Amino acid sequence: MITVHHLDNSRSQRILWLLEELEIPYDIRFYRRDPKTMMAPRSLRTVHPLGKAPVITDTDGNVTLAESGAIIEYIIDKYGNGRLAPARGTPEYIRFIYWLHYAEGSAMPPLLLKLIFGLLPKRAPLPLRPFAFLIACGAQRTVINPQVKLHMDYWERSLSESEWFAGDDFTAADIQMSFPLETAAARAGAADNRPHVGAFLRRIHDRPAYQRALLRGGKYAYANAGGKTAS
């Protein structure tokens, strides 16, 4: 049995969605962010030394595994039975692997920097906040925002070529890519004037498995990204 160690408003929502798409039974252990730091609780470190989500444990094989991409590959390989992944050796499979790893390796770092520098003025000591504000605005204007825009435009162009990231069929790569697109829609207007990004977000939010994952996982702040309110 797979247990998902699930942190609220985090990447672990994707793993719940994946398991719902595959209709695999699973348990959830819930964790809540510290309301002051917004970090994961220290109790997650008893599951994995880094204390980050997602983490899964699988009693079938005594496996504990972190990292979204690794978890998705493990579940697809062990339980997928050919579902949610293109056939190996095809051009679609190459695209599938690319997007599966691009999501965290390339897309998320500038979005994380945008979040950090957006919080910097509020977290700085009161006398230093004006300087922190100037530094944060400068970094976002000159470095971070251009990088975020570069990625968002790349998604729009890619989704204009096919309905899903790996081709014409929905795959786990789309599940993996959901979090960068949802966070970018919420924080950087990714769906504004990018109709293919907006359409992608509406399509994933309308999927029954996505909706079931919300019911299992609880409140998820990015479920209305791109103008679609998930019920």
Over the stretch 42-96, which tens digit does the pLDDT of each residue have? 899 999 999 999 999 999 879 999 999 999 999 999 999 999 999 999 999 999 9
Which CATH number covers residue 49? 3.40.30.10
**96 with 184, same domain?**
yes
Burial of 190 (C-beta count, 10 Å sphere; 0-12/13-18/19+): buried
What is the spatial distance between Cα 197 and Cα 154, in angstroms, rounded to a whole number? 10
Q: Please report whether residue 168 resides in a domain.
A: yes
How high is the pLDDT of residue 123?
79
Q: Please report whether residue 135 resides in a domain.
A: yes
Q: Which two tokens stand for residue 162?
A: 């096919």
**36 with 95, same domain?**
no
pTM, two decimal places: 0.92
- Largest Cα–Cα separation, the chain: 59
Q: How many domains does the chain have?
A: 2
Domain limits for position 196: 91-207
pLDDT averaged over every residue in the chain: 93
